[in-house]
Structures are given as C-alpha cells and as structure tokens.
Amino acid sequence: MSNVDWEGNKETYEDPDEQRVLFAALDSFYQYAKVAHFNTTHLRRQSFYALPRAHLELLAAPPFSYLDTLNAVDDAIDKNAELSLAIWQAGLESFGIPQQLGSSHPPVPIDWRGKATSLDLEKARSTLRQFYRDWSEEGNAERETCYQPVLKALKEERSARSGSRMRVLVPGAGLARLVFDLCCAGFDTEGNEISYHQLLASSYILNHCHYSGAHTLFPWVHSFSNHRNRANHLNSVEIPDLHPSTTLGSVELAGEMSMSASDFLLLYGDKGRKDTFDAVATVFFLDTAPNIIRYVEAIKNCLRPSGLFVNVGPLLWHFENNAPGQHGREKDSVSDPVSDNNNGKGIADPGAVELTDDEVVALIEKLGFDIEKKEFGITAPYIQDPESMLQNTFKASHWVARKR
C-alpha cells in the first residue's frame, strides 16, 4: 500500500492560522511525557510525602508499596511517550518541519515549540488512549459493536448492486480504523477529519509504523480511580494489532484509501462535491454537530441519488455545555481549527440545537431520506476499561437511510 495522502496538508501548512493549530498539536505530543509525569506522579509524590509519617511508612511498605506504584506509572508513561514522540516525529517529517528553529532554508516562520494549550495537551493524551479502541486486539470488541453494523449494511447494498464498486465517505474518521476496515472489505473509502491530533496519529499508524506490535500502550495509567488492583491499572496493550500496509496489501480486491484534512461542512457541502459518494458512514459523529441540520445537508449534497446514509452512535451532544448562544462566538485561539471559519458555512457557524434520537430520525426523513432500518439500544462502550469498577456504556442508535 502506498502512503495515504492527507488532502489539504499543503494548504494547511501555508495558512498562518491553521499552521498555529498544527504546531500546537505537534507540541502537545512532544510535551506528553513531561506533562503526564508532572500531573500523574510528581504531584502524587508531593501529596504522599505530606502524609503523617506513620501513614507514609504504612503505605510505603508491602502490600501497598505506593512509591513503587508511582515508579511503575512513570515507566508506563515513558512507554506511552515512545508512541507520542513517534507521532510527533512523523508529523514533522510529513510537513517538512525541522525539529530546531533556524535549521531550515528558508527558516520556519513560527517555532512549533511551546504552542500547545492545556486543551491541546489533553487531546494528545486522549488520542493516545484512543489507540486502545481502534488499533489494539483488546479493543476489537468495541470495534465489532460499532463498525460491524456499518460493514454489514454496506455489504448488503453492494450485493443489491450486483457487486458494483462503491465509494464511501467516513466523516469524523478519527484514527482511521473504520476507513481501513472498509478498504479491506473492498470499498473505495475516503475519511475526513478536522482534528490535527487525530490526523497526525492516524497518518503515523497508516504510513510510518513499521510493524504490528511496535508500541506498548498503557491506556489506563493516567487515572488512579476505580481500579480493582494494580495489575489492571498497569495493564498494557500492543499497538497496532496488525500492520496496515501489509494487511491491506494481502487483500486481493482491496479498495482505495484517501483522507481529507478539512472542515466537513466546508468541503462536503460544496457544490464541487455534489453527488460524489455511494454511501456515507457516520460512527459516533452526528453528535459532534452544533447544528445537525447542516451535517445532514452536507451528507445529502455529497451522496449520489439513492445513496445510503448509515449511522451508529449515541447523542452525547458535544457543545451542550457551552453557554446557550455562545457556540461560534468564543474563539479558542490555537486549539480549535475551526475557530476562524465562522463564516456561516463551517462547523463553527453560530447556532446550536440538541435533539432526541427519535427527533433525529424524523429530521433525516424531513431532509430527503427514507429510513430503511432502525435499531436502538446497541450496547457500545467507548474506550472503556472492561475491568474498571466504573462502567460507562452507551445504548447506541443504528439506522440506515436512503437519499430520495
């Protein structure tokens, strides 16, 4: 498999505002270890040594050995940092960015160092954890729950079309595992993602990671809550569970893969993308919309007549906690790539609404689709430690709609 090109990279790097956001994402992966060590173990050591001496001595000895636990957590963070730095290094190479300012000709106009906000740093940490879901063997159960309904619906549609080639769009592609799986199933698939954290990480795993099991990830190490024992807290997984290039290369009739780095509404709502896809697959995506009507309009625009709209996911509306009326009005200076797209067309367009599941289905029908299948209550964990004492599980909705 040849390298997957991320459409929009060159334009992004040449735009000063987008460049700042890209540099903030790169810096957040670079700083992961320093920040994780400080927040996860350094502050806990300070709190531990502030205990009364008798309490400290009790917990320092077996079977607790609390200081040994903190040392083990530090070691786990260092292993996670190997993946984080690999993403950072591959990102620099992909965009032709030198590690040191002034080492290029002409020099880079903005140094990537020190650009990450606290939100960027949190996104880097959560992106690393997402590898558990999308690129570990242990995360397969989560993938099966959410991706198999999509694959099943698309395979049935392909059979109804007598096996004809289908072009599929996956908005909010994240770490690109669904895109990859669809390509392995023979679908020409285009993923779309706006987050530079996700784009950098998915580009690394698809294009730069040399073999399966190249990294050891400790997905639960940052939190000390709800662990039954330390073995669960310090549980690790191997990343990735397969080598994407080798696996896809062994598939006889694999589909073509592409990715776009862009605002979903600006790109796929454009008339230049009208009637270009046979299907759109949204998984844990629709609730990222401030205004879901715009999402559905863009999907309808890029779908060919009689095209299929397949959805799996909950309705955890991502902007619900914004003060009413504030979406699209308050700018996060460097952490939000859509902050300067507030032009009435992109995701940052002012206006937000949160609907129920049955209202979303009714809206889909109002906007020019026929619902062909609807299922509610799919048990769907999301980056969930199966051994945790706290289990958060979605009851996801799955439906298939056809453009009229």
Percent of the chain, pLDDT > 70? 88
Rounded Cα distance, 286 and 278, in Å: 19
Predicted confidence at residue 401, as pLDDT, reads 98
Q: Is the pLDDT of residue 108 over 60?
A: no
Peptide linkage before 149 cis (omega within 30 of 0): no
Q: Which residues of 208-217 are buried (b: 16+ CB within 10 A; e: fewer)?
A: bbeebebbeb
Whether residue 389 is predicted with pLDDT greater than 70 in this model: the reply is: yes
Q: Is the pLDDT of residue 392 over 60?
A: yes
Whether 237 shows a pLDDT value over 60: the answer reads yes
Residue among 243, 176, 181 nearest 212 (CA): 243
Arithmetic mean of pLDDT, 176-186: 98
pLDDT surpasses 60 at 379? yes
pLDDT confidence band for 58 (50 / 70 / 90) = very high
* Lowest mean pLDDT, pick from 38-52, 86-100, 350-364: 86-100
Q: Mean pLDDT across the chain, nearest whole number?
A: 91
User: Is 338's pLDDT higher than 60?
Assistant: no
Nearest to 86 by CA among 201, 240, 187: 201
For residues 34-43, average pLDDT = 98
Q: Is the dihedral of CA 283, 285, 287, 292 positive or negative?
A: negative
Q: Are 342 and 349 in contact (CB under 8 A)?
A: yes
Architecture of the CATH domain 16-97+113-323+345-403: 3-Layer(aba) Sandwich (3.40)
Model confidence at 85: pLDDT above 60: yes
Give, rounded to a whole angstrom, the gap between the first and last alpha carbons of the chain.
Answer: 36
pLDDT value, residue 6: 55
pLDDT, one tens digit per residue, over 117-129 is 999 999 999 999 9
The three-class DSSP label of residue 269 is: coil
Per-residue pLDDT at 344: 58
* Per-residue pLDDT, 225: 98
Please say if the pLDDT value at position 334 is more than 90.
no
**In this predicted model, what pLDDT tens digit does every residue of 149-169 receive, in sequence order?**
999 999 999 999 998 999 999
Percent of all residues in the chain with a pLDDT value above 90, rounded to a whole number: 82
The pairing of beta strand 393-403 with beta strand 303-313? antiparallel
**CA separation for the pair 9, 7 (Å, rounded):** 6
Summarize the confidence of residues 21-26 as an average pLDDT. Answer: 96
